[in-house]
A and B are shown apart, each in its own frame.
Chain A
Amino acid sequence: MRERMNRYILEMQNIVKEFPGVRALDGVTFSAAAGEVHALVGENGAGKSTLMKVLSGVYAHGSYKGEIKINGEERRFSSVRDSERAGVVIIYQELALVRQLSVCENIMLGDEIHKNGVIDWPAAAEKAAAALKLVGLDINPDTKVSSLGVGQQQLVEIAKALSKDAKILVLDEPTAALSEGEAEKLLSLIKELRGRGVTCVYISHRLKEIFRIADRITVLRDGKTAGTFGKDDLNEAGLIAKMVGREVKDIFPSRRHEFGPAVLDVKNWSASDAAYGMKLKNINFSVRKGEIAGLAGLVGAGRTELAMSLFGVWGRKESGELVVDGKQVPRFTPKALIKAGVALASEDRKRWGLVLIHDVKSNITLSSLDALASFGVVNENAEVSAAEKYVREMAIKTPGLEQKAGNLSGGNQQKIVLSKCLMILPKVLILDEPTRGIDVGAKVEIYGIINRLAEKGVAVLLISSELPEVLGMCDRVFVMRAGRISGEVSGAAASQENIMRYATA
């Protein structure tokens, strides 16, 4: 009996957390054994982040019901500090580092070694070096965090967590912003940590990774525990079914493939940005009517930069032409491209796609205000009808049109951005990582939307780092490397290996 109790380093029992109008957690039970990697999966809105916030003390004891036990002992955390002292450290998707400070300063942030208020720098440097060694990051601790890549920054965060003596490490979507290589490194690090007895709670949408690394998987659905499984107890399809509550037969729905003439023609496009030292060189490609073309490549190959450059919001254009539906685009500003019929749903939707403090209706109609207005005055009837139409057609889950966009889940926010794009009736739709950070159910819906668009004759350019997505959705794939198009694959030659070969050669 004693053996079994001590096996669980973490037990969360019957956690109930309510917000005005919604029960985010409805009696969730979650346990993790010492030294295991336990994956926590579920759709957006299922309650994963809320559960972790309860665990970490962001939601202090008293604001939720239920018990948290660490090593069999009940704990009541009233702040993040409390939970950290108990060995619980969370690494969020949006990293919590101070970019202008050095690695060493970040590692000791909040936990400074000092004598009478004066910082002991030598001791701090030693501590930082030891922590960096643990994660296998070979850099000078005095390096400014802002000069590190995202992957390295993440390792710094993990180093920071380990130096706080973390026994339970929670990782929230750790590989979402990493390149393939960095993600590999991270997964091996986690395996190593497990070997050292650190318990890892791994929250991710990337099911393939989860099957590689997790010992057990807990599925949350609608604020309840839908089950805890050993990794051999079910396969990917079964896991998805548990997450969504129904069978999801085909993630990539089928569609008719009928192509017309080229609608988007990028000719000899060169642009550069001195600040980031990146250059786009002589890019040539085209997308046909009704076609979904993929743009693949590693992080940093220049795909997002290309899209943003076409819209005039990245770098300076050195040469090139853009022809849309036979007409040359005269100027490269978002307004001109939208007028020409090109819509862009950019990569970072919270930054480039939405005004989070404004409502669903205003966000959907933001690019089409002129069309809804006469003599400069917006026709409110037309605006509401238009917004309602898209909410219906895209199945956007929102309590109403006046809900603030920032309150909706990632998947619904992305649908709002897509609605805004579609409202201009585009001939070309450029999508940059459209399903990043979105749960499986919403992903399938978005794939369906993209397919229907292509069937209606819109030319779609799909920029994505998820190769299965690229291969499942696209008719052809252009691959970029170091600012150039390094290859094109289609048909039988379309495989992950071939794409990777062009992406890295």
Chain B
Amino acid sequence: MTLYEHIREGFHKNIRQYTMVMALVLIWVALTLFTDGVFLSPRNISNLFLQTVTVGIVACGMTLIIVTGNIDLSVGAVAGFAGAVAAVLQVNYGWGTVPSVLAALAAGLLIGAWHGFWVAYRKVPAFIVTLASMLAFRGAILGVTGGATISPLRDSFKAIGTNYVSPFFSGLIAALCVLGFVAVQLRMRKRRMAYGFPVLPLSAETLKLSVQAVVLAAAFSIMIFNQGIPYAVLLLLALALAFGFMAQRTVFGRRLYAIGGNAEAAKLSGINIDRTLMKMFMLSGVITAVAGTVMTARLNAATTSAGVNMELDAIAACVIGGTSLMGGEGTIVGALIGALIMSSLDNGMSLMNLDITYQYVVKGLILLIAVWVDISTRRK
């Protein structure tokens, strides 16, 4: 087969991933045109990455939840609540940054455990449990903040959301990441060949890796050019790597996918579904609290409307990224691309000064089309 034919075949096999990336590229091209190039400026792209962080972090946890066939409608409220807890402790009670953040994470953990208890052990559908939480914690935010905006935070807290790694170290990290990525891909290919699994011929693989490496390097470069890699983006990358690894390579992750793929078969195969789901909800709670902390740090305040509608963005990100709402399928990388698509739309349409009405309409339509494309390519 010629290189061209390999590309075509690879395209057909991974049509979902390529569709996602193509959609992202198309959207970026469109937005660049509509904003006379402002969208693609290094400053804006760097900001865009920063803006993707909160939804990206939540999407990591949300992917796992949807993979098990559940859903979490409360992430926005819980993130807002966690951020509010941290802010109130620091601003009103003078706590240091580390204790405040730890308290926020603890709150997330407990809330996650609460969800896990009702869903796993009392068999109440996750939709209802988390819907109830969404309402309750919207109220709890008002309670904890007294209805006011809690601010200002100390510099050490703000740093989480607004500081950058120095350009030198950013360059180091970037180089490590890009080289690491290429090395891992090559090692995976070698391993697959040893097992006799199908792989792309070296020419196609080289092409694919080159393109991916260039894109990665470009993304890092833009950030380095601007001010360096934001702490928040680094945090997102680390979490995404950790969650991705956990999902694909650990026993815990495999069990999540099995539960979502066929809960009855998973059960009879010896998986303790209740305990696994409980752990998952608790993990998700913590990660939501992390997102809430970052959100609060970036705003330098905890507001009463923090995180409103964030769950919808997170769910949309996961679904656009190829996570099936039926469970059993989905990747963290896909969710991140989905999150990037959603935040690109937000960012670009704001640059265009588009009326907020149209912004919502456009996002809704894109979500619909993305999922439709996903479902129809699944049939093949």
| Chain A interface residues toward B at CB < 8 A | 311, 313, 333-335, 338-339, 344, 346, 351-358, 362, 366-367, 369-370, 373, 376-378, 380-381, 384, 388, 400-402, 420, 424
Q: Kindly identify which residue among B198, B250, B258, B272 contacts A366, using a CB–CB cutoff of 8 Å.
A: B258
CB-CB under 8 A from B270, the residues of chain A are 334-335, 338-339, 367, 424
Contact between chains at B258 and A376 (CB < 8 Å) = no
Given known pairs A378-B250, A401-B197, the reply for A356 and B269 (CB within 8 Å) is no
- Complex Cα–Cα for A344 and B257 (A): 21
Known interface pairs A353-B265, A380-B249; 5 further A-B residue pairs with C-beta atoms within 8 A, sorted by A's residue number: A354-B262, A355-B258, A355-B328, A378-B254, A380-B191
CB-CB under 8 A from B91, the residues of chain A are none
Contact between chains at A369 and B254 (CB < 8 Å) = yes
Q: Kindly identify which residue among B197, B252, B261, B272 contacts A356, using a CB–CB cutoff of 8 Å.
A: B261
What 5 A-B pairs have minimum CB-CB distances, sorted nearest first? Answer: A355-B261, A338-B270, A355-B262, A335-B270, A369-B251
Contact between chains at A366 and B251 (CB < 8 Å) = no
- Complex Cα–Cα for A373 and B267 (A): 19
Interface class of chain A by DSSP: mixed
- Complex Cα–Cα for A373 and B198 (A): 25
- Complex Cα–Cα for A339 and B258 (A): 19
CB-CB under 8 A from A338, the residues of chain B are 269-270
Given known pairs A333-B272, A366-B269, A420-B269, the reply for A358 and B257 (CB within 8 Å) is yes
| Chain B interface residues toward A at CB < 8 A | 191, 195, 197-198, 249-252, 254-255, 257-258, 261-262, 264-272, 328-329
CB-CB under 8 A from B329, the residues of chain A are 357
**Chain A minimum-CB-distance residue to B263:** A355
Contact between chains at B265 and A313 (CB < 8 Å) = no
Most buried by A among B254, B255, B270: B270
- Complex Cα–Cα for A286 and B197 (A): 45
Contact between chains at B250 and A335 (CB < 8 Å) = no
Given known pairs A358-B328, A378-B249, A401-B197, the reply for A353 and B254 (CB within 8 Å) is no
Contact between chains at B328 and A357 (CB < 8 Å) = yes
- Complex Cα–Cα for A401 and B249 (A): 17
**Chain A minimum-CB-distance residue to B248:** A378
CB-CB under 8 A from B258, the residues of chain A are 355, 358, 362, 366
Contact between chains at A367 and B269 (CB < 8 Å) = yes
CB-CB under 8 A from A377, the residues of chain B are 249-251
CB-CB under 8 A from A358, the residues of chain B are 257-258, 261, 328
Interface class of chain B by DSSP: helix
Contact between chains at A376 and B250 (CB < 8 Å) = yes
Q: 6 A-B pairs, CB-CB below 8 angstroms?
A: A333-B272, A335-B270, A338-B269, A351-B262, A355-B262, A388-B195
- Complex Cα–Cα for A451 and B335 (A): 48
CB-CB under 8 A from B250, the residues of chain A are 373, 376-378
Most buried by B among A354, A369, A381: A369
- Complex Cα–Cα for A338 and B257 (A): 20
Contact between chains at A400 and B198 (CB < 8 Å) = yes
CB-CB under 8 A from B251, the residues of chain A are 369-370, 373, 376-378
**Chain A minimum-CB-distance residue to B261:** A355
CB-CB under 8 A from A335, the residues of chain B are 270-272
**Chain B minimum-CB-distance residue to A424:** B270
Contact between chains at A355 and B265 (CB < 8 Å) = yes
- Complex Cα–Cα for A367 and B251 (A): 11
CB-CB under 8 A from A376, the residues of chain B are 250-252
**Chain A minimum-CB-distance residue to B198:** A400
Contact between chains at A313 and B267 (CB < 8 Å) = yes
Most buried by A among B249, B254, B262, B264: B262
- Complex Cα–Cα for A367 and B195 (A): 22
CB-CB under 8 A from B252, the residues of chain A are 376
- Complex Cα–Cα for A362 and B258 (A): 9
CB-CB under 8 A from A420, the residues of chain B are 269
CB-CB under 8 A from B197, the residues of chain A are 400-402
CB-CB under 8 A from A378, the residues of chain B are 249-251, 254
- Complex Cα–Cα for A118 and B352 (A): 52
**Chain B minimum-CB-distance residue to A337:** B270
- Complex Cα–Cα for A281 and B254 (A): 38
- Complex Cα–Cα for A152 and B354 (A): 62
- In the assembled complex, the CB of A241 is this many whole angstroms from the nearest CB of chain B, namely 35
CB-CB under 8 A from B266, the residues of chain A are 355, 366
- In the assembled complex, the CB of A222 is this many whole angstroms from the nearest CB of chain B, namely 25
**Chain A minimum-CB-distance residue to B326:** A357
Contact between chains at A313 and B268 (CB < 8 Å) = yes
CB-CB under 8 A from B265, the residues of chain A are 351-355, 366
- In the assembled complex, the CB of A344 is this many whole angstroms from the nearest CB of chain B, namely 7
- In the assembled complex, the CB of A354 is this many whole angstroms from the nearest CB of chain B, namely 6
Most buried by B among A334, A346, A381, A424: A334
- In the assembled complex, the CB of A106 is this many whole angstroms from the nearest CB of chain B, namely 26
Q: Kindly identify which residue among A311, A313, A356, A402 contacts B262, using a CB–CB cutoff of 8 Å.
A: A356
Q: Kindly identify which residue among B261, B268, B272 contacts A353, using a CB–CB cutoff of 8 Å.
A: B268
Most buried by B among A338, A362, A378, A388: A378
- Complex Cα–Cα for A370 and B258 (A): 14
Contact between chains at A362 and B267 (CB < 8 Å) = no
- Complex Cα–Cα for A353 and B250 (A): 22
Contact between chains at A334 and B262 (CB < 8 Å) = no
CB-CB under 8 A from A402, the residues of chain B are 197
- In the assembled complex, the CB of B98 is this many whole angstroms from the nearest CB of chain A, namely 28
- Complex Cα–Cα for A400 and B195 (A): 10
Contact between chains at A346 and B268 (CB < 8 Å) = yes
Contact between chains at A362 and B264 (CB < 8 Å) = no
- In the assembled complex, the CB of B133 is this many whole angstroms from the nearest CB of chain A, namely 29
**Chain A minimum-CB-distance residue to B255:** A369
- Complex Cα–Cα for A449 and B254 (A): 28
Contact between chains at B195 and A334 (CB < 8 Å) = no
CB-CB under 8 A from B267, the residues of chain A are 313, 334
- Complex Cα–Cα for A17 and B329 (A): 31
- Complex Cα–Cα for A362 and B261 (A): 11
Given known pairs A338-B270, A366-B269, A367-B270, the reply for A351 and B264 (CB within 8 Å) is yes
CB-CB under 8 A from B191, the residues of chain A are 380-381
- Complex Cα–Cα for A119 and B157 (A): 68
Contact between chains at A362 and B254 (CB < 8 Å) = yes
- Complex Cα–Cα for A357 and B266 (A): 13
- In the assembled complex, the CB of A94 is this many whole angstroms from the nearest CB of chain B, namely 17
- In the assembled complex, the CB of B287 is this many whole angstroms from the nearest CB of chain A, namely 18
- In the assembled complex, the CB of B241 is this many whole angstroms from the nearest CB of chain A, namely 14
**Chain B minimum-CB-distance residue to A379:** B249
**Chain B minimum-CB-distance residue to A365:** B254
- Complex Cα–Cα for A22 and B268 (A): 34
- Complex Cα–Cα for A471 and B127 (A): 50
- In the assembled complex, the CB of B199 is this many whole angstroms from the nearest CB of chain A, namely 12
**Chain B minimum-CB-distance residue to A371:** B251
- Complex Cα–Cα for A213 and B252 (A): 53
CB-CB under 8 A from A356, the residues of chain B are 261-262
- Complex Cα–Cα for A338 and B255 (A): 16
CB-CB under 8 A from B255, the residues of chain A are 369
- In the assembled complex, the CB of A428 is this many whole angstroms from the nearest CB of chain B, namely 15
- Complex Cα–Cα for A250 and B257 (A): 42
